[in-house]
A and B are shown apart, each in its own frame.
Chain A
Amino acid sequence: MGKPDLTVNFAGIKMRNPLMVASGTFGYGEEYEELVDVKKLGAIVLKSVTLKPRQGNPPPRIVETPAGLLNAIGLHNIGVSALIREKLPGLRNLGTPIIVSIGGETVEEFVELIEFLTDAEGISGIELNLSCPNIGKRILAQDPAAAGKLLESIRKKCRLPLIVKLSPQVTDITEIAGTCEEKGADAISLINSFPGMAIDIETRKPVLGNTTGGLTGPAIKPLALKMVWDVCRVVKIPVVGMGGVMRASDAIEFMLAGAKAIAVGTALFSNPDIIEEIVQGIEDYLVQNGFASVSQIVGNLDGS
């Protein structure tokens, strides 16, 4: 048997393998250049940008927790204009699809962001960050009606594949996933971090400058996996699964649950070689189990 086919056509984005780097963990694609061969990645999702640059939250912004990492970066970013002017030219010729993540507080902001980006050169897709838990009180990802309205407003203006990123901070995640599909999303990615906090018992103060943050890492994997499985059972559009993927077996679990692509984030911090190791692990698994292509394991969960 020959080498299994690892390529994925994800909502029109042609990926050499199903592995993406998750937004916020890989900067603007250049920071890891000495440590990670970007030509081995399936796609790169850039750090979320907003219409205007944002300073982000006061430090401390990160704290380690058991098998996890709490962060409250607060959408610290250079803004969409600087992204297009300073970062995209260097990313165009990498040969790896670039997905731009955008965040906004209003429909108008998202519309303007889409107008900036839809004709910019070198972008393969847009990820809508409706779920950054660290700005404001209520997030778009908690409000299916508002998210649906947003999609209606931007769908016709955007010629690029639209991936909607969901927050786990909801009662029933399938509800908003269904709305997004109905209103024209090309794909869904989930999940963003879980809200959490840590307290320093000596100072009796919250550890994070923002008081609360988002939990990522292996601690959230079973929670994320269940939500991905829930969503994959109700939508037909492809899904990017993420949340605590630390090794090939985690990625395979998400694919069996129905995810067509996988994003890795926190694991990169402890192991910059993680993507290559996971791709190799998936390939070995396909060979050992007699699958000719990675698409054969997507949703291939026995007995569900």
Chain B
Amino acid sequence: MKQEILSNEEVAPGIFRMGIAIWKRIQSACPGQFVHIRCSSTFEPLLRRPLSIHEIDSNEVKLLYKVIGSGTKLLSEKKPGEKLDIVGPLGHGFNVEPSPESVMIVAGGIGAAPVLFLAHFLKAARKQVLIGARTGELILYEEEFKKLGFSVEVTTDDGSYGKKGLVSSLFEEFLKRETPAIVYACGPVALLKEVADTCGNCGIPCQVSIENQMACGVGACLGCVIKTKEKDGSTIYRRVCKDGPVFDASIVSWESLI
């Protein structure tokens, strides 16, 4: 499907936000789901790029992405008015029902992309978000979270904004004061593992959004699997594109991902 690009701006060094005209199926998207984008009309790069949905409003879908390789580089060069070959929504997103009393979001780096969309769906009385990034200028959407009724705490690796340190340490400190009924996390795998371990130790349900290279994006090719644990202790491979990208943190075999 070809949709018109409405905007494509660099909102922080190396990080772009793209607005795309909405289509019918995307309007029923769940937070944590993704779209699959063909970045080039040639076959270089060959595969589509999966990007999680950042926000949806009445006329546009917003994507937040970091320029990492050839696909995202080509995407960053696209201009408003151009048509984008896009498929979606795809995948299994965050489970937001039933709404508990208190929720917490932990977002690291570009991990802010899907969790802002998630924030719109969370109806809890007490809502907290912890955002971490390398440096202050990469802390995005603090105000948007506040508008949605979230308490926001920020950490940066270099201490240029908010507290100095890692968001995982902030999360552990926070848990000494309060216990959220559920935690949603998105970001680098090392962060997700620490959040998952901490939640596991405290008995807090936790959902994580996992990234992986994908080929088909619909569960057919089995190229994007990760190792997960079954109740009987055995392990099976599950597809990030179809069974995920959001998983219950307790089933992920974290040792296999680090």
Q: Which chain A residues have a beta carbon within 8 Å of chain B's beta carbons? A: 24-27, 31-32, 34-35, 47, 55-56, 58-64, 66-69, 71, 73, 76, 217-218, 246, 266, 268-272
Contact = CB atoms under 8 A, between A and B. Distances in A.
B138 interface: no
B222 A218 contact: no
Contacts of B222: 27, 47, 56, 61, 73, 76
Contacts of A266: 46, 215
Given A25-B216, A56-B225, A73-B223, 14 more contacts: A25-B220, A26-B220, A31-B220, A56-B222, A59-B225, A59-B226, A59-B237, A62-B221, A69-B215, A71-B221, A76-B237, A217-B46, A270-B47, A271-B38
Most buried by A among B43, B45, B87, B219: B43
Interface of B: 38, 43-48, 85, 87, 212-227, 236-237, 242, 256
Nearest to B45: A64
Given A58-B227, A59-B226, A31 B216 contact: yes
Nearest to B85: A271
Closest 8 CB pairs of A and B: A27-B220, A62-B223, A31-B220, A31-B219, A269-B215, A76-B222, A31-B218, A61-B223
A31 B225 contact: no
B18 to A, nearest CB: 19
Contacts of A61: 222-225
B51 to A, nearest CB: 15
Contact of A269 (B44, B85, B221, B227): B221
A69 B218 contact: no
Nearest to A29: B220
B218 A270 contact: no
B137 to A, nearest CB: 27
Would you call the interface of chain B mostly helix, strand, loop, or mixed?
loop
A268 B38 CA distance: 12
B225 A76 contact: yes
A76 B238 CA distance: 11
A269 B47 contact: yes
Contacts of B47: 64, 69, 269-270
Contacts of B225: 56, 59, 61, 76
A35 B212 CA distance: 21
Contacts of A68: 46
A66 to B, nearest CB: 7
Contact of B48 (A26, A32, A269): A269
Given A32-B220, A269-B216, A271-B38, A67 B46 contact: yes
Contacts of B214: 62
Contacts of A218: 43, 46
B226 A71 contact: no
B29 to A, nearest CB: 13
A73 B221 contact: yes
Contacts of B224: 59, 61-62
Given A35-B87, A71-B215, A270 B221 contact: no
B253 to A, nearest CB: 11
A24 B221 contact: yes
Nearest to A267: B43
22 contacts: A31-B216, A31-B242, A32-B216, A35-B218, A56-B222, A56-B225, A59-B212, A59-B225, A59-B226, A59-B256, A60-B213, A62-B221, A62-B224, A68-B46, A69-B47, A76-B222, A246-B43, A269-B46, A269-B48, A269-B215, A270-B43, A272-B87
